Amino acid sequence: MSNYSRLIQIGAAATALCSLSIAAPEPPIYNSEATRHPETGLQGMVSSREKRASEAALEVLKNGGNAVDAAVTLAFAMAVTTPQAGNIGGGGFMMIHSADTNATVALDYREKAPLAATRDMYLGPDGEVDKELSRYSHLSAGVPGTVAGLSAALEKYGTISLAEAIQPAIKLARNGFPVNEDLYQSLKTGKERVEKHAPHALAYFYDDEGVPFPPGHLISIPELADTLELIAKEGPDAFYKGAIADLIVSDMEKHGGIITHEDLARYEPVFRNPVRGTYKGYEIVSMPPPSSGGAHIVQILNILEPLDLHSKGHNSAASIHLMAEAMKYAYADRSKHLGDSDFNPVPLEWITSKSYADTIREKMNLNRATPSVDILPGEPIHEGLDTTHFSVMDRYGNAVSNTYTINFTFGSKIMPPGTGFFLNNEMDDFSSKPGVPNAYGLIGGEFNAIEAEKRMLSSMSPTIVLKDGTPVLLTGSRGGSQIISVSLQVILNVIEHQMNIAEAVAAPRIHHQWLPDTLGVEKGVSPDTIALLEQMGYEVRQGRAMGTANSVTFEDGIFYGGSDPRRPDSTAIGY
């Protein structure tokens, strides 16, 4: 019996005893220190950036399904209601903790470069990267992995059929769903590109005058409903070998793309061993390459562990400085050592070792910013802002932390006619020219150069934190290069600063990625703190909100959900 089941049985027994007493005991004193309060549940919890997807997943849990069933249902539903980020035209990573096996595994369903991809395919006559080709052409799409990945997770760890998991998504696509503020804002900024690359999609999202449908307006995507019905009926083969594959390849052939029937038929997701680390008695389990997220979350935690951030105070100048310094060293290592481990060896054991963290800590100036030009990757003896993350826990002890993406908002803005979904532009996450920053300022090296069938490097960081073998925190984020730092700060806020998950997710965030040598901060960081950081040598920039980290915790037999307030429709819901 899992720890979850024992705790829930104890809670049920306690409730029964209370019902026999003459008067219920006085409730505990309300926690007056908390500034925000999470959603709670005794049987399960779902947290995502879209309300209807969260509700569909919770219904699966209520009907006896497990966390994987609910996660797959949620992912397909979000592919309808959040077309700018949720997807079947992209790929991602899923961390799964199985109560049956008491094991945590990593599922890699990241997109792959097509067979015809070449190292210099985006370089123009001048030898420089042609960003239109790598971001907004049919050449920008990697071979999608979402349908194969979700199907593999359900087949190995789920209890319901793929057809059952897809039904809520089909209903939403066929019968309609209301536009929310999140989608509305994306439609406003994405219109020009959508009109250029997928004019047939305009009717789904814009009125006859080209104005995006406002929040509350009911829209449907019948072509996507047809696509989902085919997948429900025929399984993933419909997408990779059947009618949907035909539509994708036909569109590629008409517009100079290189994804072929062979590319689609050869695609397979991969179950991998997670990256593992420890932090103050907790086990950190996260995504391995081709994600850089797990390696560098563990690396940064190793650097910070002896420095007692708690006593320095949350988001004090001292604690921000230490986090930023550790981030610089990690992102520097990312630039040189990370890539698809199926193609090049990645020194994970060294990067995630406590001894290497000790070496970095010895170099750090604990009182002043180290210029990034003075930090080089160590030597062992891009990502899109409209990625989306969700977390699910169930009453059986299973847990899923999932991040998936099509890279930019609406990906490449290309929707193969007849399919109803947008294709990714993940090829831009490769180092089109090693040493040249991608769309998010990330420097990539030789290990992330373009090669046929290679998976492009990612920062996606779905993470499960365990205590004594039991999942106690699920987190991850959207946000391109900021995903690592956002996920890290949620973990630190819970473990180091003892925040509840609502507070941990809502707290102001900071980010440093080595190059450019600037420290990003969100609103809410004190001007006095910023002044102190500038005195320490930082160039501080206050800008847009960082990430969307919909997270879940489990404590004392109770599930807690934290929905990120940075997205207007984020929803944590339990029962």
Query: What confidence tens digit (pLDDT) does each residue in 106-132 have?
Result: 999 999 999 999 999 999 999 999 999
State the SS3 of 247-265: HHHHHHHHCCCCCCHHHHH
pTM score, whole prediction:
0.93
- Check: CB of residue 103 under 8 Å from CB of residue 470: no
Cα angle value 465/471/476 (rounded, 5°): 45
Residue 378's pLDDT is what? 81
Q: Read off the pLDDT of residues 278-336 as tens digits, 9 standing for 90 and up.
A: 999 999 999 999 999 999 999 999 999 999 999 999 999 999 999 999 999 999 999 99
Q: Give yes or no for residue 29 having a pLDDT over 70.
A: no
Report the alpha-carbon distance of residue 358 to residue 372 in Å, rounded: 19
Residue 379's pLDDT is what? 72
Residue 21's pLDDT is what? 31
**Lowest mean pLDDT: which of 82-86, 195-199, 431-435, 502-506?**
431-435
Report the alpha-carbon distance of residue 215 to residue 446 in Å, rounded: 45
Q: What is the largest CA-CA distance in the chain?
A: 85
Q: Give yes or no for residue 417 having a pLDDT over 60.
A: yes
Q: Read off the pLDDT of residues 452-464 as tens digits, 9 standing for 90 and up.
A: 999 999 999 999 9
Domain extent listing, the chain? 1-17+42-67+95-142+272-570
Residues 6+ apart with CB under 8 A from 295: 275, 288, 289, 334, 338, 346, 348, 351, 352
Tokens 């990573």: give the residue: 93
Residue 2's pLDDT is what? 47
Cα end-to-end distance, the chain, whole Å: 21
**Lowest mean pLDDT: which of 438-447, 501-510, 555-564?**
438-447
Active-site residues, by number, are 387
3-state secondary structure of 126: coil
Report the alpha-carbon distance of residue 417 to residue 114 in Å, rounded: 20
Q: Percent of the chain having pLDDT more than 70?
A: 92
Residue 487's pLDDT is what? 98
Q: Give yes or no for residue 18 having a pLDDT over 50.
A: no
The topology (CATH level 3) of 1-17+42-67+95-142+272-570 is: Glutamine Phosphoribosylpyrophosphate, subunit 1, domain 1 (3.60.20)
pLDDT band at 440 (very low <50, low <70, confident <90, very high): low
Average pLDDT over residues 214-240: 98
Question: What's the token pair of residue 347?
Answer: 């020194």
Q: Read off the pLDDT of residues 155-175 as tens digits, 9 standing for 90 and up.
A: 999 999 999 999 999 999 999
Report the alpha-carbon distance of residue 394 to residue 43 in Å, rounded: 6
Residues 6+ apart with CB under 8 A from 54: 46, 47, 48, 74, 390, 571, 572, 573
Average pLDDT over residues 147-157: 98
DSSP string, 58-113: HHHHHTT--HHHHHHHHHHHHHHH-TTTS-SSSEEEEEEEETTTTEEEEEEE--B-
Residue 105's pLDDT is what? 98
